[in-house]
Structure 1
Amino acid sequence: MIAIIDYGMGNLHSVSKAVERLGHAYAFVSDGDKLMKAEGAILPGVGAFGDAMDNLRERGLIEPIKRYAASGKPLLGICLGMQILFESSNEHGDHTGLGLLPGHVKRFTGDYKIPHMGWNRLEFLRDENPIFNQVNEGYVYFVHSYFLQPGGENRDILLATTDYYQTVPAIVGRNNVYGMQFHPEKSGSVGMKLLENFANLCETALI
């Protein structure tokens, strides 16, 4: 079973329907004990970084998510869910994230349209990663005003990037923790195949 973490800020319907279409069992989870029983977990997110962390804190989910990640079972953050995997963000003030991956989230700045919204092409950096099994580079759907800056010493976490007036991290990962800045569930065949590969990793995870 894949746990879709419900903390009041995720697009639960579209994510759950995508997992269902792939033929995998799922459950909405807002309890730490139930989370630990799952073979894999998805942390969706829509909205602001600070609000997301406040909601996780109010529901007592911060430490359970950290324990879950430490268990070695697959965890996937989507959109805002990816951003809060990192150390901090300057969205509407300075906020501390889950710290499961190294890096900081900052706002796009420049004379171009913000938010970054629409279809952009992925460029795979580490296509040997199992998340890319039988996936061709293609276009996926982004909606975000903030993006990850991993820092030079941590660029090994970058699995795929896209270009939006600069290089933008699109897929990140280290060990069992993954993040996708775009919405795979809204990204056609490329996104669905990436999501399927993550679900397959969940099936083979040690329980």
Structure 2
Amino acid sequence: MSPTVALLDYGSGNLRSAHRAVEAVGAEVTVTSDPATALGADGLLVPGVGAFDACMRGLRRVQGPRIIGERLAGDRPVLGICVGMQILFEKGVEHGVSAEGCGEWPGIVEKLAARTLPHMGWNTVDRGEGSALFAGIPEDERFYFVHSYGVRTWDFPGGGPTTPPLVSWAEHEGDRFLAAVENGPLWATQFHPEKSGDAGLALLENWVRSL
């Protein structure tokens, strides 16, 4: 049987293209805002487009932080895309507005220090060694980004019993930011794999296979 994926509908995100892409790599996809459906699927996909604060308000309306937290507590996979990655961090600061995120990872989503914004178009990713998300994808492949904000510093406490997250980076006009994170059942990308052609489909297939 095909793995099931719940595509979380909280009023923010490119649902149609994400639905098509994940379905194309072998998953049975349901677009939903129902907590029981989102908790019960093999995988949860959290998209996101727009401002951090608005996305968090929409996410709270459908109990998104609770759904994500409960899935991760049960070691059940979650994939965040674009702002769906950003909301996993502690805080976002946009246009002087500071908003609390889901707090799954330490870090602040802030404006990129680049002359040209948004960072829009194709870019390579300096992937973490041993990445399962990018497995089998050539190093020089490019992925599609559309954003003006990101996480520019990564300070994850080490030395504990758990394996630290695997992080991948990208750069825009000399400013480095997180492009992807792999942390047990929680994976996320700043770029849009559903808009990244064959390379994006291969990445989504890696996630679906992991379910």
- TM-score between both structures, scaled by the size of structure 2: 0.89
> How do residues 1-207 of structure 1 correspond to structure 2 at under 5 angstroms?
1-92=4-95, 93-110=97-114, 112-126=115-129, 128-137=130-139, 138-153=141-156, 156-164=164-172, 165-202=174-211
2:122 counterpart SS class = strand
CA contact (8 A) 1:101 1:174 kept: no
2:106 counterpart SS class = coil
2-structure distance, mates of 1:157, 1:87:
16
Residues 60 and 153 of structure 1: CA distance in aligned 2, closer, same or farther (over 3 Å) = closer
CA contact (8 A) 2:94 2:110 kept: yes
Q: Give CA-to-partner distance per residue, 1:2-29, whole Å, 9 cap, x none.
A: 0100001010000000012112111012
Unaligned runs of 5+ in 2: 159-163
Shift of residue 158, structure 1, vs aligned partner: 4.6
Shift of residue 56, structure 1, vs aligned partner: 1.4
The 4+ residue runs of structure 1 with deviation greater than 4 A are none
Shift of residue 154, structure 1, vs aligned partner: 5.2
- Which one is further off, 8-17 or 187-196? 187-196
Residues 114 and 20 of structure 1: CA distance in aligned 2, closer, same or farther (over 3 Å) = same
CA contact (8 A) 1:32 1:65 kept: no
2-structure distance, mates of 1:154, 1:182:
25
Calculate percent identity across the aligned residue pairs: 38
2-structure distance, mates of 1:201, 1:36:
17
CA contact (8 A) 2:153 2:177 kept: no
Shift of residue 172, structure 1, vs aligned partner: 0.8
1-structure distance, mates of 2:188, 2:198:
18
What is the number of residues matched between the two proteins? 200
Counterpart AA for 1:195:
L
Q: Name whichever structure is richer in strand by fraction.
A: 2
2-structure distance, mates of 1:158, 1:95:
25
Shift of residue 125, structure 1, vs aligned partner: 1.8
Q: Name whichever structure is richer in helix by fraction.
A: 1
Residues 107 and 199 of structure 1: CA distance in aligned 2, closer, same or farther (over 3 Å) = same
Counterpart AA for 1:160:
S
- TM-score between both structures, scaled by the size of structure 1: 0.91
Q: Give CA-to-partner distance per residue, 1:146-198, whole Å, 9 cap, x none.
A: 01134334595353211112222111121111110000011112111111101
Residues 153 and 85 of structure 1: CA distance in aligned 2, closer, same or farther (over 3 Å) = closer
**RMSD of Structure 2 on Structure 1 (CA):** 1.6
Aligned to 1:205: none
Counterpart AA for 2:137:
V
Counterpart AA for 1:162:
A
CA contact (8 A) 2:170 2:178 kept: yes
CA contact (8 A) 1:10 1:45 kept: yes
